[in-house]
Structure 1
Amino acid sequence: MIQRDDHGGIAVLTLSNPPVNALGAGLRAALDAGLAEALADATVRAVVIAAEGKLFVGGADISEFGKPPQSPILPEILARIDGASKPIVAAINGAALGGGLELALACHARLAAPGAKLGLPEINLGLIPGAGGTQRLPRLIGPTAAFAMMLTGEPVGAGKAAELGVVDEVELGDLREAARTHARELADAGRLPRARDRDERLTPEERETFEAKAAEALKRDPQATNVAALVRAVRGAFDKPFDEAVAAERDEFRALVDDPRSRALRHAFFAEREAAKVPGLPKDTPRREIARAAVIGAGTMGGGIAMCFANAGIPVTVIETEQGALGQGLDRVRGLYAGSAKRGSITEEERDARINRITGAVGLAHAAEADIVVEAAFEEMGVKRAIFSELDRVAKPGAILATNTSYLDVNAIAAVTSRPQDVLGMHFFSPANVMRLVEVVRADRTAPEVLATALDLGRRLNKLPVAVGVCFGFVGNRMLEKRSKAGERLLLEGALPHEIDAAVTEFGFRMGPFAMGDLAGLDIGWRSRKDFGGRAPVADALAEMGRYGQKTGRGFYVYADGARTGTRDPEVEALIARTAEAHGIARRSFTADEIVARLMYPMVNEGARILEEGIAARPGDIDTIWINGYNWPAWRGGPMHWADTVGLDRIAADLTRFAAETGDESLTPAPLLQRLAAEGGRFGDPRAKA
């Protein structure tokens, strides 16, 4: 794991722990032994720490979190560096993240390649740096800049890192040779500059600025235990001697490892990576080349999907049935790009390049040269089958034909073609140019190489693709339908829209279901239910009155003078009461906890059925979909992880009671949920497989 090469009295220790050089127990032990030997060697004047591969160190091995620590732990290695009598220089060839950056910060100097990225992303796992990062970084670049880096977790490029003072130099040539030269110069000068010894940035003025930023962060998310811990740790840079502050940081870190929020965020991290592995789809499955795309439909969704291709450097043709709709759609896309350039998120040159990758055309014949065609037309089976029947005729052999349907049967769509092996679903989420998630829907006859190509393409488009099976609504919308039904039932039984929305936002969602419905437009769900034979008595009545939500100024709430936040409407509350009376439903009040249970438990139950049917391969896939497509609070880990924390026995018992009270047999616990509840099991257990 460590290779040592000596040149002119400089020992170069090269880390090797593919794929990301994570600082697991084995690499830590090898690094510690290598440092001890080099520092004790009389022929060695200085040490360079370098790494093989594209990364310097991708961070700690987080699979070790929550397990008994194996010595040497990273702080012990950094203490050895602190006590070194010879210069140690970090040669940062690629990403130095988390523990990797903490290792570099402890060195006496840091040189970086131009493509290096440096950051402390622990905040995204519900943690804070635990090996001195909250102390060394503030002393190097100032506590305010350091706090900002750690609070977002976003890495900075080598140039920005040099500007801030995180690295000493950005080396355009041979990085290791430059690091050896720098180490030799430090040895010649007898200098051992340590971040821990610097305090010139810890001024009263910096303290005041930092405290203002800390107050803002705590106000934004007062329940975030790791944000509060980060604030306390950085304060230690002002208030405590270095070693005492590092010990306090370590105590904060250990407490967070056992914090439920951190456990949930780590689950989400692993689940997202596990979702890339599709059971039964070997890594060496052949892929098809995707050099040109076509998108059918220039509406909001079609335009957003076209932008995804253009952003990834793939030329795309947007196809409509008539010129007016095409022109409006392309104007909308140009406007979005213009806004991005005006905000500075892309350059004007990049704006023009992306716009130039998108061409418009009228007629499906213009899909003939595309390697993939994504249909984003109206959500109606007849329309989609007609389009795919024509695409079967005009698309070139081997082209992948994808439907962006949110609900419809992909097998039925594929059946109108003579090449069902080339057909699958790619369900983008709105707005498609922003949202990460894509449900990649594997139909019964989808060829393995088509599925593999679509998953790779999703990642190429900077999306998070998750493979799912065919059923009504797939994973996300199938579960959402259960929550929507439960929300309507709650209205009739006595909870008011603002009470339900408040309970859901307190749970952690950005918006409640009725505020979200008003934002999206109540007419959308109303028309969908009419197509599929569904019924939502209150929402449908509002839509029939022309109350579509924000766009009409009235929905579940009233939006006066174009306001984005609605206010309660006595007319709606009276409508709810009349509807409940007409259905013979006695109304009562509900606590916030009762509201959450009645909304979320049916979703968990449907998730169990989805697992039983093989629509999703793993509970973590369901969690990944809900976190990234429906804004489920990541710190709760997704609906299936959250259910494990509640207790499946409790959920099963409450669902049984809900089914008896409402007469709704769909609330009866699914067999998988019943079994796990009886066994004291969890969805996260290996035995949770159906």
Structure 2
Amino acid sequence: MSEAIGYERVGDIAILAANNPPVNALGHDVRNGLVDGIARAEADGAKAVLIYGEGKTYFAGADIREFGKPPTQPFLPDVCTRIEASPLIVVSALHGTALGGGLEIALGSHFRIAVPTARVGLPEVLIGVMPGAGGTQRLPRLVGVDVAVDVITSGRQIGAKEALAMGVLDRVVEGTPREIGLAYAQELLDSGAERRAISEMPAPEAVDFDALYNMVLQKGRGQIAPALAVRGVQACCELPFEEGMKRERELFMELMASDQRQGMIHAFFSERAVGKLPELKGVAPRNLNAVGVIGGGTMGAGIATAALLSGLSVVMLEMTAEAAEAARGRIESNLGGALKRGKLSQAQFEDLTTKALTLATDYAALGDVDLVIEAVFEDMGVKKQVFTQLDAVCKPGAILASNTSYLDINEIAACTKRPADVIGLHFFSPAHVMKLLEVVVADKTAADVVATGFALGNRLKKTSVRAGVCDGFIGNRILSTYRTCADHMILDGATPYQIDKALTDFGFAMGPYAVADLAGLDIGWAVRKRKRAEGVDPRARDFTYADKLCEDGHFGQKTGTGYYVYQAGKRAGVPNPDVMPLIEADRAAQGLTPRDFSDDEIVRRYMAAMVNEAAKVVGEGIARRPLDVDVTLLYGYGFPRYRGGPLKWADMVGLPGLLSDMQDWAKEDGYFWQPAPLLEELVAEGRTFDDLNKETA
């Protein structure tokens, strides 16, 4: 037998204990050990089999070390079938997580018991595939079509209590998995229970699967894995079990060969690689217990909320007592959402808002905090005033962080006597919800300060990306370019509404003009005015229609009108009739004759602009690796996860074709469409962005 699966007899019960740390992943040795263990139990005269996991979990899922490699026998569907076919009673005792193939092993068992903290799920759609070892065939037989489709297409993890109510689990009991599993198996033997194979249960009644497929596809904004999983459930209802298993495997293999699966796997591994920086190996972060936040607006309140939820104490500094109380109200409103969702108890809510949170109007209150994050107005003069005062009051070793979206961290650090302690921590709004944190490293930022930035991001449950200093860092610099591309297309004949629709059809959560309304049109207006004041290259195309919107007081959702008009109580807007006349006036003033754009051309130009600027960001070292760009756009800018990120998308569609298109467009606008040197280099050498990721792994 494989060492990954231990074998033991306790009376009439054979015990198969998984011992494949750290998460008992279902690698080849584990699969082989399960098959051998079942055969040994049958030959050994046992009457029941208990399967459980040593360590912190049951089988947590597939072995990621085998991703991308040819599968080896025994294949997981065959393992599940072999367990289920045993004439012995097979019990699985779950703790930790039973996800993906782990849950499919449990469903192949005849009975399932779990500790109260166990979690189960079929998250395959989150990496671009679907259950492929009987999940779409057994789960619907056990819990019905509606529940099975929800579990499978969402990929969500389900707590033991909910899984028991669904019927996924037979019992939930306190204790160790070995103890509760042995007791349950013995009870089943003593009661004369018969084996209970899910595959032998009747299939549920069929529903309108075409309508369900279309609904799931629309909900996933074009992601195909959840929709194909619906076809797997359909096979459960309409075909005999063995034929349903064959159909599930066909659908699974179709997804394995898809670009979307490539994109999702890339996103999966990139998320894990993004925080692993050679420069931080062996560097210990500084201690963090108390943080200060300056500015209690939407962003500052969100940062404070995230810090409180992570167990940090927070000093919130505002300019007046009234502003401080308003900040408290925003923080309490944020925490109130967690209270309503059951994430916080009333006692925890009161502790956070009365004990962990301190309001202040004097910088002296920040004297003992370990880190301060300023979230004040995006103006260099204001930022410098704040940091000058922080330099005077904060204790030695305290980290001074700016939440600036665009401004030069080196210039901010230079106004202090401790530039090594200064860093950028660029949160995304709402900061207690959005997963991305850009850790912006200035020229003199100390390594342990960088390590502390990443440690803070981890504590706040953020995905942190290292960025260098430039206007807009990684995300906003690239955003500025692809948004400019969209503005150019509007001057040339497209509309904001066609662009938004084309890009949501591509898979973005929102189009750029709906996003601008959400963020506030005044932000982009301020950036344009700043850049014009600094001097704009005369070759750059400019436009006025967006400025005129702001001059008329239309700042987006916050004022009820922007590119769209927002009615009270409705999240989505309708096109603002004032916008197109402004655009048409701008076109006329510039002597432009509008032309038609296809949705495909809109997407191609928009994505090419994004990729080109991203290549410049990587080439200049602002982002260390292409995957840093991909993670930034995935987590901060609504890029469709199933496409992997802009640079993974570029690799899949082909770099030579993108470069050729840019060279053609440069004949119309040679200034904007200047190909990135890195892109030209990769095409010339026949390499991809992913090759660069592998070089820096």
What TM-score range do you get, normalising by the shorter chain? over 0.9
Q: Which amino acid aligns with 1:683?
A: F
- C-alpha displacement of 1:87: 2.2
2: CA distance, partners of 1:618 / 1:211: 42
Q: Cα distance, 1:208 vs. partner?
A: 4.9
Contact 2:520 2:557 in 1 (8 A): yes
Which residue in 1 is equivalent to 2:42?
Answer: 39
Aligned to 2:262: 263
**Alignment match, 2:200:** 197
Question: CA distance change for structure 1 residues 558 and 301 in 2, over 3 Å: closer, same or farther?
Answer: closer
Q: How does 1:465-614 map to 2 (within 5 A)?
A: 465-533=464-532, 536-559=543-566, 564-568=571-575, 571-614=578-621
* Partner deviation per Cα, 1:425-465 (whole Å, 9 max, x = no partner): 11100111111111111222222222222212212112111
Task: Report the secondary structure of 2:280's partner residue.
Answer: coil
Larger deviation: 297-306 or 215-224? Answer: 215-224
| Closer/same/farther in 2, CA of residues 566 and 185 from structure 1, 3 Å limit | closer
1:119 to 121, 135, 138: 121
Where does residue 274 of structure 2 map in the other structure? Answer: 275
- Please, which moves more after superposition, 61-70 or 49-58? 61-70
Q: Which moved more, 1:357-366 or 1:537-546?
A: 537-546
Matches within 5 A, 1:75-114: 75-114=77-116
For residues 573 and 587 of structure 2, what CA distance do their matches in structure 1 show? Answer: 23
C-alpha deviations, 1:564-594, integer Å up to 9, x for none? Answer: 5444456533332332333344432211122
Counterpart AA for 1:272? E
CA distance change for structure 1 residues 330 and 661 in 2, over 3 Å: closer, same or farther? Answer: same
SS at match of 1:628: helix
Letter of the aligned partner of 2:436 in structure 1?
A: L
The answer on 1:669 being equivalent to 2:675 is yes
Q: Give 1:481 deviation, angstroms.
A: 0.7
Alignment match, 2:332: 334
8 Å CA contact retained: 2:95, 2:119: no
1:184-205 per-position Cα deviation (integer Å, ceiling 9, x unaligned): 3434526222222223xx554x
> Is the partner of 1:660 in helix, strand or coil?
coil
Deviations 1:69-126 (A, max 9, x none): 2111111111211221222221212111000111111112222122111111112122
User: Within the alignment, does 1:684 sit opposite 2:690 as a pair?
Assistant: yes
Deviation at 1:547, TM superposition (A): 3.1
Cα distance in 2 for residues equivalent to 1:613 and 1:307: 35
Q: Is the 8 A contact 2:221 2:507 kept in 1?
A: no
Contact 1:186 1:192 in 2 (8 A): no
**Amino acid corresponding to residue 404 of structure 1 in structure 2:** N
The corresponding residue for 1:318 is 316
Per the alignment, residue 226 of structure 1 pairs with 225
Aligned to 1:443, what secondary structure does the other structure show?
A: coil
Of 51-60 and 114-123, deviating more is: 51-60
Query: Is 2:2 the partner of 1:4?
Result: no
Aligned residue identity for 2:419: P
Q: TM-score, normalised by structure 2?
A: 0.92
**Greater CA drift, 72-81 or 414-423:** 414-423
Alignment of 1:23 onto 2:26: yes
- Structure 2 residue matching 1:280: 3-state secondary structure: helix
Correspondences of 1:42-191 after superposition (within 5 Å) = 42=45, 44-62=46-64, 64-188=66-190, 189=192, 191=194
**Bigger Cα displacement from structure 2, 646-655 vs 673-682:** 673-682
One-letter amino acid matched to 2:620: E
Task: Report the AA paired with residue 563 of structure 2.
Answer: F
- The secondary structure found in structure 2 opposite 1:427 is strand
The residue identity in structure 1 corresponding to 2:194 is R
Equivalent position of 2:539 in the other structure: none
SS in 2 for 1:644: helix
Q: CA deviation at 1:660?
A: 2.4
| Residues 374-399 of structure 1 deviation map (CA, whole Å, 9 limit, x = unaligned) | 11111111221221222122112222
Unaligned 5+ runs, structure 1: none
CA drift of 1:647 comes to: 1.0
1:621-679, Cα deviation, whole Å (9 max, x unpaired): 21111111010111221111111122111111111222221131x52211210121223
For 1:93 and 1:405, the matched residues in 2 are separated by 43
Deviation at 1:404, TM superposition (A): 0.7
Q: Which amino acid aligns with 1:625?
A: T
Is contact 1:437-1:463 (8 Å) kept? yes
Contact 1:3/1:13, CA 8 A, preserved across alignment:
yes
Q: Mark the CA change 1:423 to 1:18 in structure 2 (over 3 Å): closer, same or farther.
A: farther
Read off the aligned partner of 2:6 and give its amino acid letter: Q
Q: How many residues align?
A: 683
Q: What is the letter of the counterpart of residue 312 of structure 1? A: S
Which position in structure 2 is the counterpart of 1:292? 290
- Counterpart amino acid of residue 33 in structure 2: A
Distance 1:158 1:209, change over 3 A: farther
Give TM-score scaled by structure 1 length: 0.93
Q: CA RMSD in A?
A: 2.4
CA–CA distance in structure 2, aligned partners of residues 561 and 161 of structure 1: 39
Secondary structure of 2:690's partner?
Answer: coil
Q: Please tell me whether the aligned partners of residues 483 and 602 of structure 1 are also in contact (alpha carbons under 8 angstroms).
A: yes
On the 8 A contact 2:625/2:692 being kept in 1, the answer is no
Q: 1:602 deviation in Å?
A: 1.6
Deviations 1:188-244 (A, max 9, x none): 526222222223xx554xx45999866643453474322232222112222222222
* 8 A contact 2:520–2:556 mirrored in 1: yes
2:136/2:229 contact within 8 Å kept = yes
In the aligned structure 2, how far is the partner of 1:561 from the partner of 1:320?
Answer: 30
Distance in 2, matches of 1:210 and 1:300, equals 43
Structure 1 contact 65–257 (Cα < 8 Å) conserved:
no
2:667 aligned counterpart, secondary structure: helix
CA contact (8 A) 1:318 1:360 kept: yes
* Structure 1 contact 144–210 (Cα < 8 Å) conserved: no
Q: Whole-Å Cα distance in 1 between the matches of residues 506 and 321 of structure 2? A: 46
> CA contact under 8 A between 2:52 and 2:177: conserved in structure 1?
no
* Contact 2:305-2:334 within 8 A present in 1 as well: no
Q: CA deviation at 1:342?
A: 4.3
